């Protein structure tokens, strides 16, 4: 099937990034959020980020203006119903995602493909609560969306080949690379990445190293561009904890038990960069370790 119009649910960090790359690639994008101010902020951020691409010579001023003209916004979720493809990019909570799809269902066109940007939740389970499990799949972008080249495509047990091929075509049009993943907890990237981050938090928790020494060790000793605790702050500690809980619950293996210190930081509201404090304090010019 041909995909021209794309609905994006959620105007946060992931949602605005997805809207950005879709508009630049030539798709008409309808961006939804329950908060009108969040939508305004998302459009402003997209405009700023595309302007940065223009300044680097990656896009022309004309491409900038055309991309922005392709983006419209709405606080009315049912308006997305006639899109060819809908990408849900709301918070990583299964109950919230179910509510979004439940609200959309009566308004969907027969051909509409539903997808979720979830980083860990069962695609099969999300799909089963809709009227189109064969036209439902995981469409997991990496953060930051405009920069990262990988997209995980996750088929639920009922996802048909036509749906997969349609989503693969979108990934190719974005000039990104698709990795096909089976529907098991956290898929590929986070199945490997999150236990590493969790182990780094355990290393801090047990006093093996400080925040600085742990991050420096992985950057200089393993050639990682960011240390694991710095990366956790960038992702969001609440998101990291949610994914670890999905792994722990879904695979029933104690090796996926979230570190108590990670839980404590989330309970304190220290969710990382987005709130100005996590394993680092971002209130000054230079991030300072909080432990």
Determine whether 190 is an active site residue. yes
Task: Pick the closest to residue 115 from 163, 73, 161 (CA basis).
Answer: 163
Residue 201 and residue 240: Cα distance in Å, rounded? 11
Catalytic residue, chosen from 140, 198, 230, 271, is 140
Task: List the structure tokens of 16.
Answer: 């605005």
Catalytic residue among 16, 88, 120, 152: 152
Burial call 127-149: b when 16+ CB within 10 Å, e when fewer: beebebbebbbbbbbbbebbeee
Active-site residue, selected from the candidate residues 49, 190, 230, 271 = 190
Distance CA 106, CA 108 (A): 6
What tokens appear for 179 in the block? 């990795």
Are residues 42 and 31 in contact, defined by beta-carbon separation less than 8 angstroms?
yes
Contact 156, 184 (CB under 8 A): no
Would you call 152 a catalytic residue per the annotation?
yes
- Give phi and psi for 99, each to the nearest 5: -65, -40
Angstrom CA distances, 228 to 183, 215, 223, stand at 25, 6, 12
The pairing of strands 71-74 and 177-182 is unpaired
Q: Has 119 been annotated as catalytic?
A: yes
Helix axes 13-24, 61-69, angle to 10 degrees: 120
**Span between the terminal Cα atoms of the chain, in Å:** 52
The set of catalytic residues is 119, 140, 152, 190
């Amino acid at each position: 099937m041909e995909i021209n119009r794309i609905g994006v649910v959620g105007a946060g960090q992931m949602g605005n990034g997805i809207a950005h790359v879709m508009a630049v690639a030539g798709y008409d994008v309808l961006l939804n959020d329950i908060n009108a101010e969040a939508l305004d902020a998302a459009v402003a951020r997209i405009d700023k980020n595309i302007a940065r691409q223009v300044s680097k010579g990656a896009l022309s001023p004309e491409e900038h203006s055309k991309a922005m003209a392709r983006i419209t916004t709405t606080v009315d979720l049912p308006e997305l119903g006639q899109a060819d493809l809908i990408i849900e990019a709301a918070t990583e909570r299964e109950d919230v995602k179910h509510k979004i799809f439940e609200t959309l269902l009566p308004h969907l066109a027969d051909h509409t493909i539903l997808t979720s940007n979830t980083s860990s939740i069962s695609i099969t389970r999300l799909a089963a609560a809709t009227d189109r499990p064969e036209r439902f799949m995981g469409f997991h972008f990496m953060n930051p969306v405009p920069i990262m080249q990988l997209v995980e495509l996750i088929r639920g047990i009922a996802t048909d080949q036509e749906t997969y091929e349609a989503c693969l075509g979108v990934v190719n049009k974005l000039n990104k690379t698709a990795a096909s993943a089976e529907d098991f907890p956290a898929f590929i990237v986070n199945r490997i990445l999150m236990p590493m981050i969790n182990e780094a938090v355990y290393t801090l928790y047990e006093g093996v190293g400080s925040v600085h020494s742990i991050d420096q060790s992985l950057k200089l000793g393993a050639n990682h561009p960011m240390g694991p605790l710095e990366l956790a702050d960038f992702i969001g500690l609440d998101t990291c904890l949610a994914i670890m809980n999905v792994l722990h619950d879904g695979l029933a293996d104690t090796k996926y038990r979230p570190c108590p210190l990670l839980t404590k930081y989330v309970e304190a509201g220290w969710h990382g960069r987005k709130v100005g404090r996590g394993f680092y304090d971002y209130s000054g010019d230079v991030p300072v370790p909080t432990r």
